[in-house]
Amino acid sequence: DTGVSQDPRHKITKRGQNVTFRCDPISEHNRLYWYRQTLGQGPEFLTYFQNEAQLEKSRLLSDRFSAERPKGSFSTLEIQRTEQGDSAMYLCASSLNPDRSDTQYFGPGTRLTVL
């Protein structure tokens, strides 16, 4: 399977702990996106990378959140001092630019539960 992969699939943590999620995009896809989805809502954009450069961040991405894509391949999303409001599904997507339509392909997501 050469789709987008995410690890872990599920994470349960206590409030105040730090968590890190990993996303491996489709090979050779140069754009990588992070989204967050809460129960009953559609996914919301958090941030995106083109190669290793982080080019856009949503206002949803507070200073407790940091994302990296050090070599333009896999990406990590870290949440420091987790809060119960951080409980959500965190989705990663990748796309190949300059495919003009820039179709994004999503991974299975990491479900975070903060107790």
Partner 1 sequence: DAKTTQPTSMDCAEGRAANLPCNHSTISGNEYVYWYRQIHSQGPQYIIHGLKNNETNEMASLIITEDRKSSTLILPHATLRDTAVYYCIANAGGTSYGKLTFGQGTILTVHP
Binding interface with partner 1 (CB under 8 A): 4, 31, 33, 35, 41-45, 48, 50, 55-56, 89, 91, 93, 95, 97-109, 111
Compare residues 74 and 106 and give the one whose CB is closer to partner 1.
106
Q: Any idea of the CA torsion for 44, 53, 12, 80, to the nearest 10 degrees?
A: -100
Taking the complex as a whole, the smallest distance from the CB of residue 45 to partner 1 amounts, in Å, to 5
N-to-C CA span, the chain? 33
Q: Which residues contact 43 (CB under 8 A, 6 or more apart)?
A: 35, 36, 37, 89, 91
Taking the complex as a whole, the smallest distance from the CB of residue 16 to partner 1 amounts, in Å, to 26
CA atoms in the 13 A half-sphere facing the CB of 24: 9
Compare residues 53 and 70 and give the one whose CB is closer to partner 1.
53
Compare residues 3 and 85 and give the one whose CB is closer to partner 1.
3
